[in-house]
Amino acid sequence: MGRTGLKVSELCLGTMTFGKYTDMREAERLVDLSFDAGVNFIDTADAYGAGDSESYLGRILKQRRDEVVLATKFFNPMGPGINDSGMSRVRIFKAIEASLQRLKTDYIDLYYIHHVDTETPLEEMLEALNDLVRSGKVRYIACSNYEAWRLMESLWISDSRQWARFECYQPQYNLVIRDIEEELVPLCEYKGLGIVTWSPLANGFLTGKYRGQGRVLKGTRSEDNWVYNPDFFAANAEETLDVVLEVAKELNASPAQVATRWILEQPAMTSVIVGARNCEQFRENIGASRIRFSPEQLDRLNNVSKLKDRYPKSMEWNMSERRANAVKMPRLED
């Protein structure tokens, strides 16, 4: 993971469904299936299932805690009080104790700030997180959904004060939402952060199951409005889905496997969070580790979904070439 010595599997079990769509029995089966498949990385958050996701994992992992890299997050409201959300020092210390209790563990391997809190200084959050690392309650800290400037400022603050710094970034990333490639991926590569992505299937869009069905499909999370606004998809999202379906057919694989495998083929990616309501879905998704693209197939997927260059990249992309060519300019004659 990034510049650290921590090793994680290329797929990560996402447990957002635990306690809401996945009951305890199925959750146990999903975790067992993860271990059997070689997945050593599990992601949750205090707010998932209003705390039930963490509680389920605490019961399931009690005898296997040392076998897993466990990640959780804080930010979202966990009570009615005005200090029950955000990233203040009070909130962080309260959140970690509650998560440790629910997870039945003495430490968190990877602790994320889940969202952006514009009301709390970064220094306050980062000092509190540093204290958690120094106390042994947290091994590594991380952030999710941060803009590039905010992530860079956080790293500078931590480095300048010799505090524990973010070692991982968790963004949304898939074939129809590639925005992080513009600034965030280069930043993470430059500063040595791991990248663990969420929503590899664009909330199910890249499986093809919504085609011709509208945005809501019975028996899916879309019934509860758990569907990312397609207004944020690339303009040619349907064309990209066509290529995903074509490649899936060529490989005798599922569209979900193709979409997930594509992320794993991209530079700087550490792991992909794969969520599932049941073992059947998860078995299909982990099949992404077994398929391989031909160079031609990967090029088709890359090209159909490629971002258009935006300013300043659209202006500056070839300046290194122009500068190199300037060295070869003939001497001006007197």
Which residues are catalytically annotated? 48
Q: Which residues contact 105 (CB under 8 A, 6 or more apart)?
A: 58, 61, 65, 70
* CA dihedral sign, ordered 71, 73, 79, 84: positive
DSSP element (H, E) containing 216: none
Q: What are phi and psi of 197, to 5 degrees?
A: -95, 155
Tokens of 72: 């959780």
Three-class SS state of 43: strand
Cβ-contact 206, 241 below 8 angstroms: yes
Q: State how far Cα 4 lies from the chain centre.
A: 17
Q: Indicate the SS3 state at residue 14.
A: strand
Nearest to 119 by CA among 153, 85, 96: 85
Which of 237, 135, 256, 131 has the alpha carbon at shortest distance from 178?
237
User: Exposed, middle or buried by CB within 10 Å (0-12, 13-18, 19+), for 179?
Assistant: middle
Distance CA 131, CA 255 (A): 44
Please tell me the distance from the alpha carbon of residue 201 to that of residue 208, in angstroms, as a whole number: 10
For the chain, the farthest-separated pair of C-alpha atoms sits apart, in whole angstroms, at 86
Q: How far apart are CA 306 and CA 311, in angstroms?
A: 16
